[in-house]
Structures are given as C-alpha cells and as structure tokens.
Structure 1
Amino acid sequence: MSDHKPTRREWGARTTPSLQGNEHWWPDQLNLNVLHQKHPDANPFSESFRYGKAFAQLNVDELSADVDALMTDSQDWWPADWGHYGPFFIRMSWHAAGTYRALDGRGGGGTGAQRFAPLNSWPDNGNLDKARRLLWPIKKKYGEKLSWADLLVFAGNRALETMGFKTFGFGFGRADIWAPEDDIYWGPENEWLGDKDERYTGSFEDGSRVLDNPLAAVQMGLIYVNPEGPNGVPDAAKSAMDVRETFARMGMNDRETVALTVGGHTFGKMHGNGPADAVGGAPEEAKLHEMGVGWANKHETGLGEYTITSGLEGAWTPTPTKWDNTYLETIFSHEWQVKKSPAGANQWEPVEVKDGFWVPDAHVEGRKNPPVMNAADMAMIVDPDYLKISKEYRENPDVLADEFARAWYKLLHRDMGPSARYLGPQVPEEVLVWQDPVPKHEGPLVSDEQIATLKQAITDTGLTAKQLIETAWASACTYRQTDHRGGANGARIRLEPQTGWDINVRGGVAEVIDQLDKIKGASNTTISLADMIVLGGSVGVEMAAKSAGHDITVPFTPGRTDATQEMTEVDAHAYLEPRHDAFRNYMQEQSTPIPAEHLMIDRAFMLNLSAPQMAALLGGMRAIGINAGDNNTDGIFTQRPGQLTNDFFVNLIDMGTVWEPVDEDEGRFIGRDRKSGETKWTATRVDLVYGSNSQLRAIAEEYAADGGERHMLHKFISGWVKVMENDRFDLHR
C-alpha cells in the first residue's frame, strides 16, 4: 500500500470532469447532461416548494423601499459613483437580461444565471460581483420569497425610478437555477475577447459580415458589442453594423436599439482610471480567501476614482444620476475625437467641451471631467438610420421616454414568455405582441361528458392515429423552455408563419385542423380549436394504444384559447420553426452541420423532457409511423405500424441485424439480416443512437425487455402530456 499523499493538483485531477471525465476521453460523445439539469436534489428547497407561492407572501412596496434606500447608502468597501448605486444596478440588470438571444431563446435574466460561470466572470461583467454583494442584505431579508433572478433585474428597474424615470412596469416570477447552464453555446473561441472574428463570415467592406447562429454577441465574454469598436478598432460606422446585428439577434429593432442606448447611457459612467494590467482575475479564478470576489485592482486604492472595469473612463452626460435628455444634447453639441483612456482603451472625447457639459467627478469634489462616448454611442449619429431616430428623440423627449420605457421592459422580460407568467402588483395591464398573448377563456370549461362526446366525434371522422398525433405534436412541439414561447395554446399552427412551415405542409396538418374545426363549430361548447387539436392528439394516442392491446386514457385539461393573427409577431415566431425534429425523423436540408442526435437532445431539452420520456416518445412515435413525409420509413422498426408498441426498441437492439451507412456522411443506414443479407430496416442517426450510446441503450434495453412495454407506455404518456401542457402556465405555477 502506497503512503504517497496526493498533491492538490493530483487530487484535482481525480475530481475535475474537465481533466478525467468522459468528455475528456470521448469529446464527440453524445452528452445527455442537459436533460438532467433539474434534478430535485440540486435545489436547496423542499420538493414541494413553489416560487410563485413563496413570492405571494412578499410585500413589494417594502422591497421597493429597501432597494431605494440601498441606492444612496454608499459602502466604503465599494463606494457609489456620485453617492448613487443606480447606474451600477442598471448595468447589472441590463447585463443579466441582455444575454437573451431570439434564435434559440437561451440566455436572459430569467434564471439568475449571472451568479454562475461563465457569466459571472465574463470581462463584460467586470465588477458586477460587487453589485450582487451589495444586494445580499436584501436577499437575506426576504429569503425564499425573493429569487436572485428577480432581484437582479428588479434592482435596475427600481434604480431608474429613483433617478426620475417612469418605467413601464415590472413582472416578478423568475425562479432560480442552482448550477451553471452548461448547455449554452457561447461561441467557438478559446480566449476572452479574442480578435480573430472566429464567429463571423463575410466582411464589413461589402456588407456581407454575418454572425454565426445562434450567437448574439460579437466576441466571447461580451454581452453585445466591443465598446472600443470592432476588435478594439475605433470605427463607429463598423460598430453600427455590429450593434444592429447583435441587437436584432436579441429581438430589438432599430428604434428599440437607439432608445436603449440613449436611455441606458443617460446614467452612470465607464471605468478605466488606471493601468489595465493592475486588474486581477475574475471571480471564478479568485483565491479562496477572496470569497468569490474578483477583479482585484492593485492601482492605488482600486476603488472609487481608481476603479477599472471596461478600460474606458468617463461619463456620458453632465447629470449622470438624473433622467433627462442631456445624452443627446451632449453628443449632438460636440465634435468628437478618439483618445486613449488611462487604461489605454479607445474612446471618444469632445475636441472642445462646451459650457454646461463638463461632468462633475464621481468621487473627487470640485474636479470636472469631459464627457465621453464609446464606439456604440458614436454609431447613433454616424449610421444614417440611427441618426434619424436620434434626432427625433432629441426633438421629442416624451417619445424617447415612452419608447425607452417599453424597450427596457422588453429587455428585462423577453425571456419570461407570455405575461401570464408574470407575478406581482407592478405588471402593466397592457399586453404587448412580443409577449405572445392569447385571449382569456370565456364561459364554462367543457365538461367530462362533453369531452367524451367530442372524442367520439373525432374518432368518427376516420382520421388516423398518425394524423391526429402528428397534428397535435406539430402544434405543441414549438415550445421552448428557454424563453417559454411556442406551444399549443393559441392554436397558432393555423396562422402565419406556421401554416407555411415545411414540416407542417409535409405533415398535412391543415386537413386535420379543418376537420377538428368543423367538430368544434358543431359542438355547441366553449372549447377552443387549440383544445380540439390537443384533444385530437389524445384520441390518436388512445387509438394507437388500444390497437396494441392497451386500454388507456390520456389526461386532458381544457382551457386553451385561440390567438389571432394580430396577436402573433410573425418575424419573431419564425425562430420557433422546427428545422429539425428527431421525433418525426425530420431534418431540413443544409439547416445545420450539427449531428442529428445532438439536435435531438436539444429539442428534448426545449420540450422539458427527461431522457426516458424522450426515448419513449421517439420510439412510440416511430412504431405508430409518425415520420415527416409520406414515404419516409426510416426508423419504423415494426411489422404493425399504427400501434403504440415497443417494437422500435425490440428490433433496434436485435443482434440479428447488421447495420451499415448508405452514404459518406453517415446520415442514413441500412439494417440487413445477419444470415440472409436481406434488407430489414432503414434508419437515421437519431434511430441508431438509441442502440449505440450507452446511456440511451440502457433505457432502450429496459423498454425492449419482456414487460418493458408498460414502462415505455407510462413514460410515453407522461412525456406526451408534458409536451401538450408545457405552455399551460396556469397549471404548473
């Protein structure tokens, strides 16, 4: 027995997944971790805890008063600029919410993810660890009644109010996560603020520069754009191109972009009063005794007037803790030139500061400083479209105030989904189109007797189980839990843009919806078409199960309503299109270079499914024959299609079948009889992965075993109901 005592480095090698985990040895291995993120044991609260119920006990007026008092309670360990933390908290809230991206709904402030790596250590989030520590006494006071996710964005909203701005309102309801969101792809770079444009194709010169999907920031470690200009080069015109694309990726149009830039930069300052190399490591690399506080600054006191964050130094306006129109007055009243900050960063300063525009120093009484702009600010007057809007806002401050209030509200709430998820007394009555509104249900809900009658009417149409299931799935599978958008509620499958989606056209859902709508019209009930589509799917599942010898009832809860085209933001809904759907063995040509099995995991995560539910749904739908397109038989491993059986798993892992790829890309495969060589089945990557991946095979073997069909059926039903009810926020608050 060795008496060698492991060194700290050796011990770390034994426990650190990045050094000896499976991902190290098999980097291309399918990673199912994202499907296990919500393990109940990761939550410090009991299994019965519901944030909505806990929040209902919180006094929002008292909370507002506490946050207001904190704003001007300057702490010696981190002094407030001009004695007011308002601008600091605005930046914290903006950066918490601003990671949202419309293409996949990831990011945003809805989970409190800014507390964890990598966000807590991004260069663009420099010193925001101090903002969160300043809020700790408030979080401590309210405990489980107030999530960090809500507090991080509420503090910035309240900060605006304390400095004279009237916000549009605020919705609580963001529940915390307890571990980093490891599934989010933030970019290909291996260093912060890399300067090689690895995430872009094309060029500035011909206007072809395009950011890779689904990214929404210009560089690793930034929320939006580089404040010095693209790759640190002070070019305002090129910065405007970056600003436009990144803000669009986050769901903002030109007016909202200008409003946010002007309104947000009305407050506070940038920090770079000292050498950049005086700043230490980020929180995730802080030493134990530093207790998670990063970016230690060795320049002078490292605090107050010597703070270094972005490296740029100075305030935008002469009144940095007051809502007014001085940002636009400042930028339009001066001629600007590029200068170096004390930290060596590129920034814009006036050639000559005019009277009334000198900025009082944030910490040194009597000192005056010139106003300062960054590249994104200069873009507001260099880009012709931004310039036009900026001039309008200068001439019409009330228009700016209204549009900034709305854009700020959208920024903070975009990832929360429909307003039905919002909590608290400050939720505005006006519902906006980007919130995917649906009408309130009018009249009594359909009774059990009426549901039974409607189910029989659906059965009598002659529609097959395949048709009914595929239509209900097509309606509901648009949901994504990242930003709570999509789903069956609203029956938007009958509206643009969904009616024209390739997979819906291939699936023939319009015919099914037409017949269900006729039944609805003749029923003399208050049931919606959205409910009819889901109910039709329930009937289809029950039909397929019955034909396999299983007498089941699929749980169905009415209460959905039907949205109108006017309630549907067409451009935003285009992001919800299923360009790949493993459950229907569908992949649009050239939609992505990512292997289909990895996209399957992502789709299952979006639908909030567990790995066993994902497997049961895919295998069951294959057995029923639900593939996109009439002639697509890939993965239909059964001699009795249309029945809800475990045949997919039984035949997939049968050792009498030998598989081989049919093309160099290994996207499709042929399964031949081991003895005769005759073709038995064809399959795609998402079919065979249930036999090749060890974790998925473990599930497949249980479903394929004698007696395993009942386990598969149980997970199929629970997964099906979850998909159908993901957007029923009234059922699982």
Structure 2
Amino acid sequence: MDGNQVNSTGKCPVMHGSHTSTAASNTDWWPSALNFDILHQHDRKTNPLGPDFNYREALKSLDVEALKADLRALMTDSQEWWPADWGSYVGMFARVTWHAAGSYRLGDGRGGAGTGNQRFAPLNSWPDNNNTDKGRRLLWPIKKKYGNKISWADLIVLAGTIAYEQAGLKTFGFAFGREDIWHPEKDIYWGAEKEFLAGSEHRYADVSKPDTMENPLAAVQMGLIYVNPEGVNGQPDPMATAAQIRETFARMAMNDEETVALTAGGHTIGKSHGNGRAEDMGAEPEGAGLDEQGLGWNAKGRRGIGRDQMVSGIEGAWTSNPTKWDMGYFDMLFGHEWELRKSPAGAWQWEPVSIAPEDMPADVEVPSIKTTPIMTDADMAMKVDPVYRAICEKFMADPASFDDAFARAWFKLTHRDMGPKARYVGPDVPSEDLIWQDPVPAGRTDYDVDGLKARISATDLTVAEMVATAWDSARTFRGSDLRGGANGARIRLAPQKDWAGNEPERLARVLSVLQPIAIEAGVPLADVIVLAGNVGIEKAAQAAGHSVTVPFAPGRGDATEEQTDAESFDALEPVHDGFRNWLKADFAVNAEELLLDRAQLLGLTAAEMTVLLGGLRVIGANHGGSKLGVLTDREGALTADFFVNLTDMANRWTKAEGDAEIYEIRDRKTDAVKWQASRVDVTFGSNSILRSYAEVYAQDDNADKFVRDFVAAWVKVMNADRFDIAA
C-alpha cells in the first residue's frame, strides 16, 4: 500500500470486531425491513465437508459396535479436568442429550436434536444448558476418532442413550441419520425477551393460564428447556407448576404418561448442581474469553468441579443410587414428606423432613459422606397433581411398565424431529411402526403414468382446482421436523379435509373426481393428487405457449385414519399462505414475514419462493378464487405477467380506500384501476431483494426461464417428503 494512502489516524480500513462493532446493520437502519436471513441460512458454502459429501453413505462404513463400546468406556473414564460424579458420566450425558432434544416444539417443528444445533448460539449459552459444553468436549475424542462417519447430532443423542443402557435400562432403540448444521439457526423464534430468564409474563397473556403462552413457544422462560425447576417464575407452587408442565410437554408432543415417564426417568440418574454462588460463575461460552476456547461458566476463585459445581443452583440428587436405573425416584418422592429449603446457592428446593442415612445419596467425590436428596417443584408436581400421581402409582405397582414407558418416551423425545422412519439408519432401528412417525404405506411405481395423466386431463377439473389441491396437499411439509407433505394423501382425512385453508367444498369436489380414477387404476390417491397438479401446470404452460413435461416420481402411499395422529396434525394446519394470498386471521407480524416463514419450512430459497408465488398467481390458484395479485389478463396461463406488470413503470400503486391491507395498481395516464393486490404482492416490487428477482422474470428474454424455474420449484415442493428417492 502506498504510504500516502494510510489513514492519518492509523486506522485500518478493514472492519474488525464485528460482534462488538457499533456500525449499524441494514436492520438497525431500517428496523421494519424484511429480514431474509431465514431463507439464506445453511448455505452449502458454510459446510466444510463440501457438496459431494453424503452422510448416509459415510454411515455405511461406521463400526457401530466399536463406537458404542467407546461410549460405554467413556461413561466411567473420569477426566481430571472435569471429574465424573461418583465416577460415572451417565447423568451428564443423559442431560446433554435431553437438553438437545428437549428444545423441540410441536407448534412449528423447530428445535430438537436433529441438527447438532446445541453446538451453536443461543442454545450453547442458554442458562439451562450450563455445563453441557463440558459434555460435548468430553465427547470430542470419540468424534475425532470416527470423524465424518458420525455427525455431532447423532453422537450427542447416542451418548445419552448409551448412558441409560449403562445405568441398566433396556432402551427402545436408536437410529442414525441426523445431519449437522454448521452455524446458528437464525430462523428459530425463541421469544421476544431481551434477557435470559425474564419473567413468564413476557410470553403469557395470563401466567395463571398456561394455554395462553405465545405460539409456537413451549418453554416457560427464555433460556429454559421446559419449566423453571424452582416453580412458576421461581416461586414454588407444585400445582401451578403442574399446569405449566402439562402445557409445555404437550407443546413438546408429549402426553401425561410420557411426561411422568420422562420426568421420573430423567431424574432417576444424575444430580442437580448448586453448591456455590451464581456470581462466581464465569461467562457463558458465547461471552467467554478467547482463553476459554469455547467453554463457559467456569468458576472464578474456586474449583468449580466435582462437589463444587454450580449449574441450576439446586443442589442434590433425586435417588439413593444416582448412577443406576431403578425405582429409586418413586421410592424417594413417595417415601418421604418434603419441605421447602434453600440450596447453598440460594435456590428453592424441596428436601425430606427426615431421612435415614442409608437412604441418602453419597457425595460425588467422597463416598463416605452422605448428602441430602432433593426434589424440584416439577418433581413435587408429580406427587400433588392427581393425574400425574395416578400415573406414578401405576408405575410403582408395575415397574416393567415404567421401564417400557420411559424407553418409548425417550426414543420419541430423541427421534421426534427426524421425520418418518424411512430416514432412520442403523442396526438398532425398532421394527415397530409408531403413530408419531406418521407412517405411510408403500406406494406403487409400476403403472402407466401417461395414461393416468390423460384420464385426469379429460375431466372437467380446472387448472386452478388441480394446482391448488396439489399445493394444499404438499404445503404442510415442514423441513423443521420433516412432517407433513403430499405423501399419505392425508388431505382427504380429518383434520386436514376440514381445514379452512384447504377450502373444504372445493377440496371435496376435486377429490370426488380424482378418487374414482385412483381406485380404477389401482393407484394411491396421493400420487393422483400430485399428478393432477402437474397436469394443471402443463396445461397452464401450454396456454402460455410453452411445451413442458413436469417431472413426476411415483411411489406415494395413502395413509389410513389409524396411521394418523389427528391431534398432532392440528399443529400443521395452515393459518396463512402467502403463496395462495390467504390469511385466516390477523397476526402480530406482517403477511410478508409469514410468507418467509412458510417458504423456509418448505425448504425454498428466496428465488424459488418468488417464482412459485408469481406463477401461482397467474394460474389463478388463490384461496377462494380471489383476484388479489392476479396481475394478468390471461389468468390460467403460466406467464410471467405478475412480474411484468408489477415492475411496469406505466403503472403506479396506491392503497385502496377503506382497507390498509389492499393495494391498487393504476394506469398512470388514465388513473384507471387495473388490478388489486395484497401487501404480500406489492412487497415483491417494494423490497429491493425481491424486486431484483422479480425483474429477472420480467425481462423479455426470460420467459422460458420463468417456466423452467417454476416447474423446478414446484417439483421440489411436491417431492419434499419423498425420503425414498434421491434429492
């Protein structure tokens, strides 16, 4: 560099310390601007393994038994830098796994252990995840040894499962197949709070009514996995806590029996740590210094290990033998009377009014020292809530039923976000089909696709009817937990057939036409619905002067009512769909933000979202036949007219009188209203990023590209849940 060009103040022209920089970002300058981070995350450029790496292929060379043997050896290989309680890490690894999987919520399918997201902020630094960083670091030698053959996501879940086996539980099974992400998930809304452990009132309309918690949240406070162990907002009240537990676990897709099994089983091994002062803990991993090398919560001025640990602030074990799988939790909870006391860290906990020394757990470092057992407010809820208590009494009368209930609930907890069983890999995959896996029978591939298309084409179904029905069937797919989608044809079953977003009357008419065709051909309706959508698109393209064949992959099956957990499918009901210009109700966020959310769940890029929306508009696939955003005089033809007219400067936009959400496109010369549109539509002209995509498709030389891109994006959505075919 020319010395004369050096800034006279000695400043380097490159921005440093962006994490502490005061430089404003675009969202700082324009807070209401649409944030596209939700669609730009997990770009393949962030994956250090490269585009050719296939984890499922790598798994084929994994020595599973050797890996499990190494994990079993790790359970008692106490490390000096982080010694194991009672010489066993079973409690630690059970907690690491539980806290990875326990962030799952049914509302939008986000969270969970399926991506290894516990390695990144904010989860790696949540107060409730205190010291899980030590567990992951203890696993590092094993991860290093097996390398790309085992993902962090699979290893974290397997570690907890092996921990329970080491403690004596016969587990239900285990499946490999979770692929790692490589940076934080920016799309997950964990709550609006600006500080950890802020009061529950920030996410409840009424804290005394747990069902008023903001959707799709499940945990009661920012930075917790489920409920506050000290009680509601830290105030002990087991009955109030029971109400929060019931709502929170329901939002984690667990019923009452699964909730009791997980609570009791989770506290059968291990202990809670609160033998210190909160002010002595160092910063969390994301806030710790460089010398901490990614670890956090390290004690200042004290040992901070062994008997001297601080995690939750509650101090003590729940059972007499905290490294063994037994009925000790129930023996302790129901065998004693309990009273409130404070831990050494000042946290509320329940301790026995009286207890014999032989029933007390040993100190984690000095076996000859006996310590006082504890219960959290959540544990006491199991005793005082009549429903939970009855389940506990059932388990106590039949220990084998407890073993089975916990093993199944643990398997569900750790596999809930993996999607259908078709994605499971490994020798320990259970043969039993479970209803929460959304099972779908195998379909057929040996039929005359062209002949079936001809029969569909000969019906009186319109292009819009065929396309809208196929779209509605497929749009339920959620990449977050890999549920929903067109496979299974559950759109014909309750509850989906009655959802307002699926236009029940129109849906029933279309299905009444397609069902007989499917029956006569001996082909699952799921395939026929998608194929009808393809026929509609081919007709629309032909009307626009393009001859295209939409790729089709047969093989879908039709799920039965018995294979459908109707209650859990309620969470998949669309209450908005910007692609079909529909909102069921008013929302706190704008319609365009809801569109981004649905696009992300469908696995779409911003460009794919753009071309799909524009194409669906001109085809006439709007909900209820609405004309909003149908910016064409050739409705039903797959043209780029939506983008052409959106960007045409011969037009101007105004808000419609009497409705702030409706916009009019007017001719600049005559001021005549040409079309009306929603705020979702006009966003594609007003937002600089979306307009850049819209302009591509509005160009005179990109008419063919528009059709090709629309077809590719359409096929991507139709096949999103086809885990039986290559992507």
TM class, shorter-length: over 0.9
Correspondence 1:131-170 to 2 at 5 A: 131-170=135-174
- Post-superposition offset of 1:566: 0.5
Give the secondary-structure state (helix, strand or coil) at the position aligned to 2:665.
strand
- Could you tell me how far apart the structure 2 residues matched to 1:84 and 1:476 are? 47
Give the corresponding residue for 1:121: 125
- Post-superposition offset of 1:528: 1.2
**Superposition RMSD on alpha carbons, in Å?**
1.6
Correspondence 1:350-365 to 2 at 5 A: 350-354=352-356, 356-365=358-367
Q: Could you say if the C-alpha distance between residues 88 and 208 of structure 1 is closer, same or farther in structure 2, counting changes exceeding 3 Å? A: closer
Q: Does 1:645 align with 2:606?
A: no
In the TM superposition, what whole-angstrom CA distance separates every residue of 1:328-378 from its partner, at most 9, and x where no partner exists? 010111111111111111101001113542111111231001110111001
Give the corresponding residue for 2:316: 314
Give the corresponding residue for 2:683: 689
Give the corresponding residue for 1:446: 446
In the TM superposition, what whole-angstrom CA distance separates every residue of 1:574-601 from its partner, at most 9, and x where no partner exists? 11111101111011023x2210000001
Give the corresponding residue for 2:265: 263
- Post-superposition offset of 1:230: 1.1
Q: Does 1:82 align with 2:86?
A: yes
Give the corresponding residue for 1:327: 329
Equivalent AA in structure 1 for residue 591 of structure 2: A
Give the corresponding residue for 2:710: 716
- Could you tell me how far apart the structure 1 residues matched to 2:347 and 2:540 are? 66
- Could you tell me how far apart the structure 2 residues matched to 1:101 and 1:662 are? 39
Equivalent AA in structure 2 for residue 188 of structure 1: A
1:253 to 252, 255, 263: 255
2:9 to 4, 9, 29: 4
Correspondence 1:424-435 to 2 at 5 A: 424-435=426-437
Equivalent AA in structure 1 for residue 680 of structure 2: V
Q: Could you say if the C-alpha distance between residues 57 and 192 of structure 1 is closer, same or farther in structure 2, counting changes exceeding 3 Å? A: same
Q: Does 1:614 align with 2:614?
A: no
- Could you tell me how far apart the structure 2 residues matched to 1:507 and 1:35 are? 34
- Post-superposition offset of 1:203: 4.1
- Post-superposition offset of 1:445: 1.8
Correspondence 1:455-474 to 2 at 5 A: 455-474=453-472
- Post-superposition offset of 1:33: 1.8
1:603 to 598, 608, 612: 598
Give the corresponding residue for 1:279: 281
Give the secondary-structure state (helix, strand or coil) at the position aligned to 2:597.
helix
Q: Does 1:479 align with 2:494?
A: no
Equivalent AA in structure 2 for residue 452 of structure 1: D
Give the corresponding residue for 1:553: 549
- Post-superposition offset of 1:169: 0.4
- Post-superposition offset of 1:3: 3.0
In the TM superposition, what whole-angstrom CA distance separates every residue of 1:112-152 from its partner, at most 9, and x where no partner exists? 00000000000000011000000001101111110001001
Q: Could you say if the C-alpha distance between residues 19 and 266 of structure 1 is closer, same or farther in structure 2, counting changes exceeding 3 Å? A: farther
In the TM superposition, what whole-angstrom CA distance separates every residue of 1:371-413 from its partner, at most 9, and x where no partner exists? 1011100110111111111111111111111111111111001
Give the corresponding residue for 1:367: 369
Kept in 2, the 8 Å contact 1:18–1:24? The answer is no
Give the corresponding residue for 2:214: 212
- Could you tell me how far apart the structure 2 residues matched to 1:668 and 1:74 are? 65
Kept in 1, the 8 Å contact 2:640–2:697? The answer is yes
Give percent identity, aligned residues only.
53
Kept in 1, the 8 Å contact 2:271–2:315? The answer is yes
- Could you tell me how far apart the structure 2 residues matched to 1:424 and 1:138 are? 18
Kept in 1, the 8 Å contact 2:497–2:504? The answer is no
Equivalent AA in structure 1 for residue 119 of structure 2: R
- Could you tell me how far apart the structure 1 residues matched to 2:22 and 2:533 are? 43
- Post-superposition offset of 1:17: 8.1
- Could you tell me how far apart the structure 2 residues matched to 1:641 and 1:18 are? 50
Give the corresponding residue for 2:519: 521
Give the corresponding residue for 1:304: 306
- Post-superposition offset of 1:10: 7.2
Give the corresponding residue for 2:536: 540
Give the secondary-structure state (helix, strand or coil) at the position aligned to 1:658.
strand
Q: Does 1:294 align with 2:296?
A: yes
Q: Does 1:64 align with 2:77?
A: no
Give the secondary-structure state (helix, strand or coil) at the position aligned to 2:195.
coil
Give the secondary-structure state (helix, strand or coil) at the position aligned to 2:68.
helix
Give the secondary-structure state (helix, strand or coil) at the position aligned to 1:633.
coil
- Could you tell me how far apart the structure 2 residues matched to 1:208 and 1:422 are? 35
Correspondence 1:14-29 to 2 at 5 A: 19-29=23-33
Correspondence 1:568-717 to 2 at 5 A: 568-590=564-586, 592-630=587-625, 632-662=626-656, 666-717=660-711
**Larger mean Cα displacement after TM superposition, 282-291 or 668-677:** 668-677
- Could you tell me how far apart the structure 2 residues matched to 1:113 and 1:665 are? 43
Equivalent AA in structure 1 for residue 481 of structure 2: D
- Could you tell me how far apart the structure 1 residues matched to 2:698 and 2:504 are? 31
In the TM superposition, what whole-angstrom CA distance separates every residue of 1:295-339 from its partner, at most 9, and x where no partner exists? 011253111110111011000000100011010010111111111
**Larger mean Cα displacement after TM superposition, 554-563 or 659-668:** 659-668
Q: Does 1:101 align with 2:96?
A: no
- Post-superposition offset of 1:208: 6.6
Equivalent AA in structure 1 for residue 600 of structure 2: F
Kept in 2, the 8 Å contact 1:506–1:629? The answer is no
- Could you tell me how far apart the structure 2 residues matched to 1:612 and 1:675 are? 32
Kept in 1, the 8 Å contact 2:503–2:624? The answer is no
Kept in 2, the 8 Å contact 1:357–1:370? The answer is no
Give the secondary-structure state (helix, strand or coil) at the position aligned to 2:411.
helix
- Could you tell me how far apart the structure 1 residues matched to 2:15 and 2:641 are? 48
Kept in 1, the 8 Å contact 2:41–2:186? The answer is no
- Could you tell me how far apart the structure 2 residues matched to 1:306 and 1:640 are? 74
Equivalent AA in structure 2 for residue 347 of structure 1: Q
- Post-superposition offset of 1:283: 0.3
Kept in 1, the 8 Å contact 2:200–2:207? The answer is no
Equivalent AA in structure 2 for residue 559 of structure 1: G
Q: Could you say if the C-alpha distance between residues 118 and 537 of structure 1 is closer, same or farther in structure 2, counting changes exceeding 3 Å? A: same
Give the corresponding residue for 1:725: 719
Kept in 2, the 8 Å contact 1:17–1:24? The answer is no
Give the secondary-structure state (helix, strand or coil) at the position aligned to 1:231.
coil
In the TM superposition, what whole-angstrom CA distance separates every residue of 1:262-283 from its partner, at most 9, and x where no partner exists? 0110000000111121101000
Give the corresponding residue for 1:237: 239
Q: Does 1:39 align with 2:43?
A: yes
**Larger mean Cα displacement after TM superposition, 491-500 or 42-51:** 42-51
- Could you tell me how far apart the structure 2 residues matched to 1:164 and 1:344 are? 34
Kept in 2, the 8 Å contact 1:476–1:488? The answer is yes
Give the secondary-structure state (helix, strand or coil) at the position aligned to 2:177.
coil
Equivalent AA in structure 2 for residue 49 of structure 1: F
Equivalent AA in structure 2 for residue 427 of structure 1: V
In the TM superposition, what whole-angstrom CA distance separates every residue of 1:602-634 from its partner, at most 9, and x where no partner exists? 11111111111111110011011111013x100
Give the corresponding residue for 2:489: 491
Kept in 2, the 8 Å contact 1:479–1:606? The answer is yes
Kept in 1, the 8 Å contact 2:275–2:344? The answer is yes
- Could you tell me how far apart the structure 1 residues matched to 2:136 and 2:54 are? 24
Q: Could you say if the C-alpha distance between residues 10 and 528 of structure 1 is closer, same or farther in structure 2, counting changes exceeding 3 Å? A: closer
Give the corresponding residue for 1:501: 499
Structure 2 unaligned residues grouped into runs of 5+: none
Kept in 2, the 8 Å contact 1:507–1:628? The answer is no
- Post-superposition offset of 1:732: 3.1
Give the secondary-structure state (helix, strand or coil) at the position aligned to 1:294.
coil
Q: How many residues align?
A: 722
TM-score normalized by the length of structure 1 = 0.96
Structure 1 unaligned residues grouped into runs of 5+: none
